[in-house]
Chains A and B, each alone.
Chain A
Amino acid sequence: MKFTRTPALLAALVAGALAMTSLTQAQEIVVTHAQGETTLPGVPTKVLTSDWAAFDNLHALGVPVAGVPASNAPSYLQGFVAADALQIGSLFEPDFEGIAASGSDLYIVGARSREAYATAKDILPTIDLSIDNADIIAGIEGNLTKLGEVFGLQDKAAELNAALDAKVAEVKAAAEGKGKALILVTNAGNLGVYGPDSRVAWIHNQLGIPSAMENVKDGDHGGDSVSFEFLLEANPDWLFVVDRDAGTGESTGAAAALLDNELVNQTTAAKEGHIVYLDPQASYITMHGYSGVMLLLDQVLAGLNG
């Protein structure tokens, strides 16, 4: 009896131990991201992010976020931030002490907070979800897929990606043959043009709306500085406007007042009523978030059909 039970027990123990090790191995998740590879010991339960686009994507997937930037929450996301969410510093300067003390198991940086990666990766598992402005839609889909794998929500991610693809296709179809456009950014009375490497480049790159001006190189915050005369000469059929003052807090309507002048009113876009004001926060602050881009796509669509 004794002799027959022991090997069986031993075998069971060994089998159990093997099963457990293989189980932990299966739980380990390797994430390849913009600044390297990060290994997560398992599905993270407490997630922090310094990037509103990452928050947007996590929210779209249904993942709760435990810590968010202390400021600049886009209004269309404000209702979704948990009341007890930690505030972990500004977009540019995360509060590393707070992050270290929070006992979180994943920290996501992106665009403005990407510099924080170097410091944060030694404190807790960190990933950088920055994407290339020249290919924003594919970048967002890649990030959703990545997050889907991390949280075991692959199906949800595929569903969101399909919806995004469908929306892009719909707007692209609506834009066909509607003429050329300029993407303007207005800032305290100054005008800039956003080019094909900018944060709203998808209007040109993905929707296939050609630029009314060749060689807009600038992808920077304020765009390439231009005069009203420039608008008159470029004479775009469409103007997509990012009101940067509104995007960073000032009251809306400043861009509309600025563009209502004797020169702009002579352009085709103004005469036809083809000036589309984009949600300033989605276009200027989040840029790479799923629901933000969906919102912008809807606004472009409404403008094109309106």
Chain B
Amino acid sequence: MRLLILAIVVTITLAVTSLFVGVSDVSLGALLSSHPDDRPMQVLLISRIPRTLAIILSGSAMAVAGLVMQMIVRNRFVEPTTAGTTESASLGFLVITLLAPGWPLMGKMLVSAAFALAGTALFLRILRAVPLRDAMLVPLVGIMLGGIVGAATSFIAYRYELLPSLLAWTMGDFSGILRGNYELLWIGLACGVLAYIAADRFTVAGMGKDFTTNLGLNYQRVMVLGLVIVSLVSAVVLVSAGSIPFLGLIIPNLVSLMVGDNMRRTVPWVAVMGAGFVLACDILGRVVRAPYEIPISVVVGVIGSAIFLYLLLRTRRHAA
């Protein structure tokens, strides 16, 4: 508990730092000495606070979604970007953008979430047919499924000459976040809370279908709840900021190493560390080449793949 409070303090420190990092001069002194209508306060309200909130919301939501997914699939190496969920969400977003470009973002997001749901359900369906549930085979199946869905998406985008736009949507980037265009991400927070409320059910479901049924829980219903949470989170994050690779994988794994697998205990940890990790990466991306930026997906991708490799090799050593 004391450690968790420490993690929260670190994350809050990062969040406050994030408010003061950027091209414009926004410092405590400037804020206090200037009129509220002046530039520092305006930049803080219009750009910095929304961006910081967007990072916290999507970081924690993606990490929790990864955790939920690992519970329902019962595999440590699964998360929305390695199970075809994010790719399906992009496909849905592309399809609805082509069919109904004028729809409000909320509507597009829901279509995107529906595709994500279908894609993830398909993934679970394929897993059921895979005879040997080797730990490495499960993410491999997911990555292959994601590859197929991604290929279909690229093909459609290519036909309609939307490839660069597709690349730009799917590339995670918080530089465009302003007041008024990030608010969908609050749905991610709602999903996180839902995951926390249902945490015990997911923990039980993580022990298998028979075990769950023996305890008198409706296994199917828990699975569907998990799928809905994962799909909604993937869709809101994709639509608002783009995809953030590996996040849902590394954070739950690191937390599991630290505090174990009881989801009621791990959800707050995963949420706080997810937010803190993305905050740190985004601040790094803003500082390295200031005043230009490095997109979050690049920073998280580089650091995340290093941690992913470490986790993989570590498991190998334990297995051997």
Find out whether the CB atom of A250 lies under 8 angstroms from the CB atom of B165: yes
Name which of A191, A244, A245, A262 has the most chain B CB atoms within 10 A of its CB: A262
The contact of B293 among A71, A227, A261, by CB within 8 Å, is A227
The contact of B47 among A193, A213, A228, A245, by CB within 8 Å, is A228
- Of B71-79, B110-118, B139-147, B175-183, the one contacting chain A is B175-183
* Residue A158 is within 8 A (CB to CB) of chain B in the complex: no
Find out whether the CB atom of B23 lies under 8 angstroms from the CB atom of A262: no
Given the interface contacts A190-B173, A245-B165, A248-B161, does A224 sit within 8 Å of B292 by beta carbon? yes
Least CB distance from A71 to B in Å reads 7
* Residue B104 is within 8 A (CB to CB) of chain A in the complex: no
- Of A5-13, A124-132, A229-237, the one contacting chain B is A229-237
Cα–Cα distance between A168 and B164 once the two chains are bound (Å): 31
Given the interface contacts A225-B292, A225-B293, does A248 sit within 8 Å of B24 by beta carbon? no
**Which residues of chain A have C-beta atoms less than 8 A from B179's C-beta?**
262
* Residue B169 is within 8 A (CB to CB) of chain A in the complex: yes
**Which residues of chain A have C-beta atoms less than 8 A from B101's C-beta?**
251
Find out whether the CB atom of A263 lies under 8 angstroms from the CB atom of B47: yes
* Residue A42 is within 8 A (CB to CB) of chain B in the complex: no
1/0 per position for A200-213, CB-CB distance to B under 8 A? 00000000000001
**Which residues of chain B have C-beta atoms less than 8 A from A221's C-beta?**
164
Cα–Cα distance between A226 and B294 once the two chains are bound (Å): 9
**Which residues of chain B have C-beta atoms less than 8 A from A233's C-beta?**
23-24, 291
Find out whether the CB atom of A249 lies under 8 angstroms from the CB atom of B23: no
- From DSSP, what is the main secondary structure of chain B's interface residues? loop
Cα–Cα distance between A221 and B42 once the two chains are bound (Å): 32
Least CB distance from A255 to B in Å reads 12
Least CB distance from B30 to A in Å reads 13
State which residues 71-96 of A face B: CB under 8 Å: 71-72
Least CB distance from A55 to B in Å reads 18
* Residue A189 is within 8 A (CB to CB) of chain B in the complex: yes
Given the interface contacts A249-B160, A249-B162, A262-B178, does A188 sit within 8 Å of B168 by beta carbon? yes
Find out whether the CB atom of B162 lies under 8 angstroms from the CB atom of A248: yes
The contact of B169 among A188, A244, A251, A263, by CB within 8 Å, is A188
Find out whether the CB atom of A226 lies under 8 angstroms from the CB atom of B292: yes
Find out whether the CB atom of B176 lies under 8 angstroms from the CB atom of A190: yes
Cα–Cα distance between A245 and B166 once the two chains are bound (Å): 10
**Which residues of chain A have C-beta atoms less than 8 A from B171's C-beta?**
190
**Which residues of chain B have C-beta atoms less than 8 A from A262's C-beta?**
42, 46, 178-179
The contact of B176 among A193, A227, A250, by CB within 8 Å, is A227
Give the residue name and chain of the B residue nearest to A225 (CB): B293
Find out whether the CB atom of B295 lies under 8 angstroms from the CB atom of A225: yes
Least CB distance from A270 to B in Å reads 14
**Which residues of chain B have C-beta atoms less than 8 A from A234's C-beta?**
291
Given the interface contacts A225-B173, A225-B292, A249-B160, does A188 sit within 8 Å of B165 by beta carbon? yes
* Residue A286 is within 8 A (CB to CB) of chain B in the complex: no
Cα–Cα distance between A258 and B176 once the two chains are bound (Å): 9
Given the interface contacts A230-B23, A251-B101, does A263 sit within 8 Å of B178 by beta carbon? yes
Give the residue name and chain of the B residue nearest to A254 (CB): B165
Find out whether the CB atom of B163 lies under 8 angstroms from the CB atom of A248: yes
* Residue B311 is within 8 A (CB to CB) of chain A in the complex: no
Cα–Cα distance between A226 and B292 once the two chains are bound (Å): 5
The contact of A229 among B43, B163, B166, B295, by CB within 8 Å, is B43
* Residue B22 is within 8 A (CB to CB) of chain A in the complex: yes
Find out whether the CB atom of A244 lies under 8 angstroms from the CB atom of B164: yes
* Residue A50 is within 8 A (CB to CB) of chain B in the complex: no
Find out whether the CB atom of B46 lies under 8 angstroms from the CB atom of A189: no
Give the residue name and chain of the B residue nearest to A213 (CB): B291
1/0 per position for B24-37, CB-CB distance to A under 8 A? 10000000000000
State which residues 171-193 of B face A: CB under 8 Å: 171, 173, 175-176, 178-181
Cα–Cα distance between A188 and B166 once the two chains are bound (Å): 8
1/0 per position for A236-271, CB-CB distance to B under 8 A? 000000001100111100000010011100100000
Find out whether the CB atom of B161 lies under 8 angstroms from the CB atom of A228: no
Cα–Cα distance between A226 and B285 once the two chains are bound (Å): 11
Report 7 cross-chain contacts, Cβ distance below 8 Å, ordered by A residue. A187-B164, A227-B23, A229-B24, A233-B24, A244-B165, A249-B160, A262-B178
Additional pairs, 14, CB under 8 Å, beyond known A226-B175, A248-B162 = A187-B164, A188-B168, A190-B173, A222-B164, A224-B292, A225-B293, A226-B291, A227-B22, A227-B47, A233-B24, A248-B164, A249-B162, A262-B42, A263-B47
* Partner-A contacts on B (CB < 8 A): 22-24, 39, 42-43, 46-47, 101, 160-166, 168-169, 171, 173, 175-176, 178-181, 291-295
* Partner-B contacts on A (CB < 8 A): 71-72, 187-191, 193, 213, 218, 221-222, 224-230, 232-234, 244-245, 248-251, 258, 261-263, 266
7 closest A-B pairs by CB: A249-B161, A188-B168, A188-B165, A224-B292, A227-B175, A187-B168, A229-B23
